Amino acid sequence: QKEVEQNSGPLSVPEGAIASLNCTYSDRGSQSFFWYRQYSGKSPELIMSIYSNGDKEDGRFTAQLNKASQYVSLLIRDSQPSDSATYLCAVTNDYKLSFGAGTTVTVRA
Partner 1 sequence: NAGVTQTPKFQVLKTGQSMTLQCAQDMNHNSMYWYRQDPGMGLRLIYYSASEGTTDKGEVPNGYNVSRLNKREFSLRLESAAPSQTSVYFCASRIGTGSWETQYFGPGTRLLVL
Residues within the interface to partner 1 (CB under 8 A): 4, 31-32, 34, 42-46, 49-52, 88, 90, 92, 95-102
Tell me how far, at minimum, the Cβ of 35 lies from partner 1, in Å.
12
- State which amino acid sits at residue 62: T
If the CB atoms of residues 8 and 80 are measured against partner 1, the closer one turns out to be 8
Pairing of strands 85-93, 96-99: antiparallel
If the CB atoms of residues 5 and 71 are measured against partner 1, the closer one turns out to be 5
d(CA 19, CA 107): 9
If the CB atoms of residues 18 and 97 are measured against partner 1, the closer one turns out to be 97
* Cα angle: 37, vertex 49, 28; to 5 degrees: 110
Contact between residue 106 and residue 15 where contact means Cβ atoms under 8 Å apart: no
Tell me how far, at minimum, the Cβ of 78 lies from partner 1, in Å.
25
53 DSSP assignment:
S
Tell me how far, at minimum, the Cβ of 22 lies from partner 1, in Å.
15
